[in-house]
Structure 1
Amino acid sequence: MAKLLYQGHGSYRITSDNGIVVYVDPYAGTGYDVPADLVIVTHEHSDHNNTQLVTLKKGGVIIRHADLHKKNYSIYNYKNIIIEGVPAMNAHHNPDDCVGFIMDIDGIRIYGAGDTSYFEDMKYFKNLDYAILPTDGIYNMDMAEASRVADLLDTKYAIPVHMAPGHLFDDEKVKAFKTKKALVLKPGQEITLGA
């Protein structure tokens, strides 16, 4: 089964059962010691695009928001890992310059929201296992809005990330993530997806 390592802020690493390594929005924390097959950069803000932290394997690929959002949202297939671009937007994030994604890996569906607030098309994201949602309340949703989004989404679990600019995690703030789907991970914590 795939594993997810939460590195802190909006950064995390997903490893498939057969060892394909995917980093999302590299910037924070530790755990960059494993070479990457894929790096996903949801947008070019400096707290999401520090690809220098990651060593690419031979043949490794960096997928930037423009690769998943050309005229329409695109689907990227890497060794049977399917990554579908979806919108990401709010007053601080132009939808032309940002993207979220839905990833299918080892039979698990993950919605990586990137930096966004609620938008109506979220209701069409179906059969998700995990939703990874930004919650800082400054540049993105706050905890209350993220809680409502988690309840709206067709997902089993919702993981709050990107809680406080400049910090990996906020122990006090995360208490306001009020949804029955909440799965709170601390930086450095790794879980087996679907377990």
Structure 2
Amino acid sequence: MTQTRRTFLSAAAAAGTITFLPFKGRAAGHMANEFESDVGPFTVHPVEHASVVLETPIGTIYVDAVGDPALYSDFPAADMILITHEHGDHYNAETLAALMGDDTMLLTNPAVFDMLSDDLKARATVLANGETSEQDGISIAAIPAYNTTEGRENFHPEGRDNGYVLDFDGFRIYLSGDTEDIPEMRALENIDLAFVCMNLPFTMDAESAASAVSEFAPTYVYPYHFRGRDGGTQDPAEFAEMVTGDVEVKMGGWYS
């Protein structure tokens, strides 16, 4: 993180320009966080588990939108939908079809692209690990997301699934998708807002996630995707205590 960027965002926090907005989605009591930047406001709406809606200065982005389409009924229609990989908690064909508008852009990894209908393939951009795309003022980079622990490699094999870095003229958002603590994540730079997974056995534990986050040092980080087969053994509050450096941990009502 450049000192200029971190100073700007820290000043915004001190000035109260990072605000909390009522969440109008699934349940009363959810809150959305709004982050001011020099390119405009960004509003984060946690939906559930790995699904998030981002209102940005140049449009609304749905990430790994699954579940009942009614979960998204109170949000602006999607200008773009990003899919990290094919697992059912990240990609659902019926949900996707219901949320795709006439002008919605779709961006996926190659494995999901191969599963799409011919109609959606014609409208989609496919990005493999390491590739980038420019979409209406956003630079999008596909970051590898994979397992490294022996015996877990089949969950997310190296080279198949994506995380993403979204760059809005210098305001950078990282979405981890499903991954363990990998060198490509630790090597990230100048991340303003990050979403980092942690659950077992499919991704990583809170300690590994906190260690990686402490190294690439985003200004803000949301722990997400922290329940699953393990029943929620990875505690986001414990994650927050283990993160070191000048990183602020934000909590979202992913499971409320």
The structure in which a higher percent of residues are strand is: 1
Offset from partner CA, 1:8-41 (integer Å, 9 cap, x none): 21110111124x1111111258641232111111
Structure 1 vs Structure 2 CA RMSD: 2.5
Q: 2: CA distance between counterparts of 1:85 and 1:109?
A: 13
Find the partner of 2:141 among 84, 98, 103: 84
TM-score, with length taken from structure 1? 0.84
Q: 2: CA distance between counterparts of 1:132 and 1:28?
A: 19
Q: 2: CA distance between counterparts of 1:51 and 1:15?
A: 23
SS at match of 1:99: strand
Shift of 1:166: 6.9
Unaligned runs of 5+ residues in structure 2 are: 1-40, 111-125, 148-152
Find the partner of 1:40 among 69, 73, 82: 82
Larger radius of gyration: 2
Question: Which structure 2 residues correspond to residues 1-195 of structure 1 after superposition, within 5 A?
Answer: 1-18=41-58, 20-28=59-67, 31-33=71-73, 34-54=76-96, 55-66=99-110, 67-69=126-128, 73-90=130-147, 91=153, 92-105=155-168, 107-165=170-228, 173-177=235-239, 178-180=242-244, 181=247, 182-187=249-254
Q: Which has the higher relative contact order, 1 or 2, with Cα contacts under 8 A spaced 6 or more apart?
A: 1
Does the aligned pair in 1 maintain the 2:222–2:250 contact within 8 Å?
Answer: yes
TM-score, with length taken from structure 2? 0.65
Does the aligned pair in 1 maintain the 2:199–2:232 contact within 8 Å?
Answer: no
Q: 2: CA distance between counterparts of 1:6 and 1:187?
A: 6
Q: 2: CA distance between counterparts of 1:105 and 1:121?
A: 20
SS at match of 2:164: strand
Q: Quick one: structure 1 residues 188 and 14, their matched pair in 2 at CA, closer, same or farther if it must change by over 3 Å?
A: farther
The structure in which a higher percent of residues are helix is: 2
How many residue pairs were aligned?
185
Of residues 87-96 and 29-38 in structure 1, the stretch that sits farther from structure 2 once superposed is 29-38
Does the aligned pair in 2 maintain the 1:17–1:106 contact within 8 Å?
Answer: no
Superposition misfits of 4+ residues, deviation over 4 angstroms: 28-31, 169-172
Q: State the percentage of identical aligned residues.
A: 24
Q: Which amino acid aligns with 1:60?
A: T
SS at match of 1:45: coil
